[in-house]
């Protein structure tokens, strides 16, 4: 299913401090430079329209949420969601999540990493373009704190099984822990817009969580982006 057109944004919304470019990301990384409060950090790679980011930030004001979306117009839409709800514990980066994990984020920087419905890149020769590749798997493990969690959802069974095999082969993460599907309580009571569309079409969603061992200090190492 392709993405639907985005509604027009209110031009009076002030996205200052909420919508970031790669040049706005502090190097070396500093969560304190981006957020108003010291708090556990959750990072979402591929925020789409921002439903998860906004709902999670609203539900957990005691945590900071950092979303990444490579499509600039979608990143702006995500930041606008935060602005409309006055959510100061969320930030949106218009940029490449693989770059952020590879070159910016230090060891043990995040409590949770979320990857929901990433592009499956259907053709076999394009599988190397998938977000959940060996480079990202190793760097996500490194960036997670001990006890931190990697959340992965997809509607593509082959992508799901391939990712589970990859994580078992190249990371020390514990899992997978499957998640049960729950009934939605209202029209937007879904993790993401893509989950909503998939479930309304009565298609399956595959969900799991991996956990970094409490004994780990910085397991996993960054790797170069494959040519």
- Positions annotated as catalytic residues are 119
d(CA 20, CA 15): 9
Q: Say how many Å lie between the first and final Cα of the chain, rounded.
A: 29
d(CA 112, CA 115): 10
**List of residues 6+ apart from 219 with CB closer than 8 A:** 141, 142, 171, 172, 212, 213
d(CA 144, CA 148): 5
How many CB atoms within 10 Å of residue 219?
Answer: 17
Query: Which helix (H) or strand (E) is 134 found in, with range?
Result: helix 134-143
Residue pair 150/140 in contact (Cβ under 8 Å)? The answer is yes
Total number of residues shown for the chain? 227
């Amino acid at each position: 299913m392709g993405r639907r057109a985005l509604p027009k944004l209110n031009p009076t919304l002030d996205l200052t401090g909420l919508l970031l470019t790669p040049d706005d990301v502090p190097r070396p990384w500093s969560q304190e430079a981006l957020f108003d409060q010291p708090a556990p950090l959750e990072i979402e790679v591929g925020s789409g329209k921002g439903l998860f980011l906004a709902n999670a930030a609203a539900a957990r004001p005691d945590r900071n949420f950092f979303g990444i979306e490579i499509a600039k117009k979608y990143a702006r839409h995500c930041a606008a969601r935060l602005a409309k709800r006055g959510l100061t514990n969320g930030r949106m980066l218009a940029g490449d999540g693989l770059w952020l994990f590879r070159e910016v984020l230090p060891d043990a920087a995040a409590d949770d990493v979320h990857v929901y419905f990433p592009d499956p890149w259907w053709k076999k020769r394009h599988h190397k373009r998938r977000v959940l590749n060996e480079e990202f798997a190793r760097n996500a493990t490194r960036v997670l704190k001990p006890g931190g969690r990697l959340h992965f959802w997809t509607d593509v069974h082959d992508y799901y099984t391939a990712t589970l095999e990859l994580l078992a082969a190249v990371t020390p993460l514990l899992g997978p822990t499957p998640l049960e599907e729950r009934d939605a309580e209202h029209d937007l009571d879904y993790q993401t817009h893509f989950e909503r569309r998939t479930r309304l079409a009565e298609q399956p969603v595959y969900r799991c969580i991996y956990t970094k061992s409490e004994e780990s200090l910085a397991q996993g190492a960054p790797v170069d982006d494959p040519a």
